[in-house]
Structure formats: structure tokens, C-alpha cells
Amino acid sequence: MAENGQHFVAVIGAAISGSVAAELLAERGIRVAVIEQNKRPYGKIEDGLPRWHVEQRKQEYHHIDERLKKPGISFIPCTKIGRDIDFQDLCSNWGFSAVILANGAWRDRDLGVPGAGDYVDKGLVYQNPFIYWYNHKNERDYRGPRYGTPDETLVVGGGLASIDVVKVLQLENYERALSEHGVQVSMHDLEKGIPSACEAHGIRPESLGVKGCLLIYRRREPDMPLAHPPDNPTPNQIAKTEQVRQKMLRLAREKYLFRFQERRLPVGFLVEDGRLAGLKVVETRTSGRNVEPVPGSEQEIRAPLVISSIGSVPEALPGVAMKGDYYTFTSEDLPRYAPHGHVFGVGNVVTGQGNIRVSLVHSQKVTNHLIENYITGKGELSAFYAAAESRAAGQAQAVSERIQTLPALAPAEFTALENRVRKLQERVGYASDYDSWIAKVTPPDLE
């Protein structure tokens, strides 16, 4: 109760990590305001996981809803830290007991070739806006950028997200080619496997003339970060993980018919009329974690579009100190933001995506099975979310223990924060309850 001195915590970002942290804090009697930049709170689940994962997305939306509706949690949508609220002001002057950053990893890692910025949307596209477009492009009110999906697009990547990107391209290419042959096949049918979808209409995929998009990766095929070994792996576990990676790539290529080249590193651009017309790449030699260009191996890969999918890192927020691509958190178990004793992080914002260790999912065998399901678009993915949730919960637990050692707020301070939260909600028209808000802001044709 406020009268006894209570804590009030601001959580930035309302998706998996933010909602898990908010629920855990609220269950411990801590009052929580969850500040989210978007109208809807689902983060990477809605805007990053491709829309063919229909059931998984619905399930996870439901979990996030259930958490954010818990007593003691206020949802503040359409409010962006760094635009609507100054981060330093929030941390230093508003009076929250603690601030938890749960704002994920939304900035694409730079392609790494000097001058890449000059070609964005002139032949070069990054993965995050591309998948956002793909997930929302069929909504009547979608007003964002639109992207082409030409055959022979070149994708730079190697992780799960880059497989998603090349898969999107291939689904679009075959849907178009089939349609030109007078055959309408849905994305959902093609997603089950392009050869089987074509054969169901008596068409051989080769007869459609699609050359296929090309995925390039800078290391060897068995190094692709599609699956991860457990911590402190044995040589046997490393060998198994490498086999799983190769199997996943094989499965994905069989189903979606894309081309692949390992050990290719972008080093320059092919430019025509101010637009990117492809990449200059070199072959590489790898030893351990080192990747070295092979002298004299430069080649040109022409492509109508280049998509860079080499990882997501946190967006720079004005006033937030960074070390390289990341905010300055002290550790991964209790991620405290170094410059402020009462600011913490949970989820993807701490380490970016791709760092869930296999140990968090029941066993490596289960993980491998899940990853295959992910590639082939079937089956249960809930263990992945369970891993993301469990990591966020572990961090939130450590954060909540630390918060309880901080001085509680006086009743007047608490009331002042309640008033601020109400004003923020009123500002964006959040007038009644969570369910009514979600119903109001969900596009009727959201896929």
C-alpha cells in the first residue's frame, strides 16, 4: 500500500520481456507503468516473426494480454522514450523507484561496408523494416514503406532471421510466377513447401523460370548460428550442433528452393545510376572465430536487391550511454544500467536477439526438433517463447530483489506518479480498460 511506502516502477517496452517483468513485479506488490511506443504491445511477435506463424502469434498475444491486464499494471501505449519522454528526465526527475528497459533490439546491425547508408532504399534494404512490411503489407491502412521482392535478390546473413527473409522472397516469387501461369496458390500453401504446392497443381517448379534468391554467409555452413550448443560444450555436442545446422539449411533449401554460398564476405558495392546493383564479395578462410579474406578472391554478385540480415541490436536512445552496439549493462544475470543505480534491462535489449542458450530450453534434442519446426513452419514453437520468457523472468526476479532494497516512495511521490501515468494515458486517448483499447487499435484485417 502507498501509505506504508511502496515502489512504483516504469517498464519501457510491453512485449514478451516487458510484460513478463511487469507481471512479476506486480505479483510482488510493486506498482508498474508499462510504456510502449506502439499502439499494440506485441513487439517482435507481431512485427518480427513472419506472419505464417499464425497460431504461435495468437497464443503469444494472448499471454502478453493476460500479463498486462494484471492488477497493479498500467499500460501506456503510443509513448516513445526518446521522442515523447526524455530518458534522462524519466530516470532522474520523475521519481520512479526503478526504470526497466525492455525495449528489445530493433536496429539492424550495419552491413559493415563503408557507405552502405547511401544505398538504403536504393537497392539495399535491412531485415527489420522488410519483415515489418511483410507482416503488415496487406492491411488496408498500412502506410509504411513498400518493398519489391525480385527474383535473384541477394540476402546477406546466416541466422534464423535471414532464413525467414529468403523464405519470404521465395514465397513471393513463386506466388507471382504461379499467378502468371494462371494458378492462385496462397502463401500458407507455399509455406508448407514450394515443390509440393506446385506439384499439387501439376506444375514442376523448374518450369516456372524462377532462378531463386541467394543467401550468402561469411563463415562455413556448419557455423551458421541457426542452432547453438549448450554452455561449455563437449566436442561431441559441437559436432551434433554443426550437423543440426546443416540439416536445417538443407531442409529450408529443399522446401524453399533458394541458393546458398558459404564463406562470402561483402567488401564493396556495384552501383549503377546511383543505385545498388549488387555486391563485391571475397571468399573467406575461417579458423576458430576468425574470418579472413582470401587474397585475390574478389568477385561480383549482381542482384536487383540486396537485403542485409546480420543481426538486431538495441536502438540508440538519446541520453543512453552505449558501449559499441549495446547499452552499458553490468551483467546479463542482473543487468543494471551502469550510469544509474536504479535502471535495469531485461530481454533482447540486454544482448540482442540470438543469445538464448540451449540450456534454457529443456534439452538440445527438443531444441533441435523445435528449430526444424521453425524452418519448416509447422508445429509448436512455445518452448522458444518459454525460453525468452524464462530469461526475462530470471532477470526481472533479480531486478525485483534489488528494487526491494531501494528506498520506498512516500505517499505524495506515489500519488504524483499515479497522476503522471493517468495524464500519459489520457494524452493518447487510452480512456478505459486494456481490452477495449486493444479492440479499438487492432486493424480489422490484421493477419
Ligand X SMILES: Cc1cc2nc3c(=O)[nH]c(=O)nc-3n(C[C@H](O)[C@H](O)[C@H](O)COP(=O)(O)OP(=O)(O)OC[C@H]3O[C@@H](n4cnc5c(N)ncnc54)[C@H](O)[C@@H]3O)c2cc1C
Q: Which residues sit at the interface with ligand X, rule CB under 6 A?
A: 12-18, 35-38, 41, 43-45, 49, 80-82, 102-104, 106, 160, 317, 347-348, 353-356, 374, 381, 384-385, 388
CB of 165 to ligand X, least distance (A): 14
CB nearer to ligand X: pick between 196 and 355: 355
28 vs 39 by CB, closer to ligand X: 39
Min separation Cβ 146 and ligand X, Å? 21
Classify the C-alpha dihedral 435-438-442-447 as positive or negative: negative
Q: Which residue's CB is nearer to ligand X, number 102 or number 198?
A: 102
Task: Name the minimum Å distance from CB 257 to ligand X.
Answer: 21
Which residues are paired to 66 by β-bridges?
none
**C-beta of 9 vs 113, nearer to ligand X:** 9
**Cα angle vertex 344, ends 229, 109, to 5°?**
55
CB nearer to ligand X: give 96 or 119.
Answer: 96
User: Minimum Å distance from CB 300 to ligand X?
Assistant: 33
Residues contacting 137, CB < 8 A, separation 6+: 146
**Cβ distance to ligand X smaller for residue 103 or 170:** 103
Give 109 or 176: the residue with its C-beta nearer to ligand X.
109
Q: Return the HEC string of the chain.
A: CHHHCECEEEEECCCHHHHHHHHHHHHCCCEEEEECCCCCCCHHHHHCCCCCCHHHHHHHHHHHHHHHCCCCEEEECCCCECCCECHHHHHHHCCCCEEEECCCCCEECCCCCCCHHHHECCCEEEHHHHHHHHHHCCCCCCCCCCCCCCCCCEEECCCHHHHHHHHHHHHHHHHHHHHHCCCCCCHHHHHCCHHHHHHCCCCCHHHHCCCCCEEECCCCHHHCCCCCCCCCCCHHHHHHHHHHHHHHHHHHHHHHCCEEECCEEEEEEEEECCEEEEEEEEEEEEECCEEEECCCCCEEEECCCEEECCCEECCCCCCCCEECCEECECCCCCCEECCCCCEEECCHHHHCCCCCCHHHCCCHHHHHHHHHHHHHCCCCCHHHHHHHHHHHHHHHHHHHHHHHCCCCECHHHHHHHHHHHHHHHHHCCCCCCHHHHHHHHCCCCCC
State the nearest-atom distance from the C-beta of 385 to ligand X, in Å: 6
Taking the complex as a whole, the smallest distance from the CB of residue 345 to ligand X amounts, in Å, to 9
Phi and psi based region of residue 192 (left: phi greater than 0; alpha: psi -120 to 50; beta: remaining):
alpha
**Smallest separation, CB 383 to ligand X (Å):** 9
Residue with smaller CB distance to ligand X, 185 or 350: 350
Minimum CB separation of residue 220 from ligand X in Å reads: 21
CB closer to ligand X, 124 vs 361: 361
- Least distance from ligand X to the Cβ atom of residue 377, Å: 11
The residue among 74 and 353 lying less far from ligand X, judged by its C-beta, is 353
In the complex, residue closest to ligand X by CB: 104
Shortest CB 90 distance to ligand X, Å: 10
Distance in angstroms (rounded) separating the CA atoms of residues 308 and 180: 29
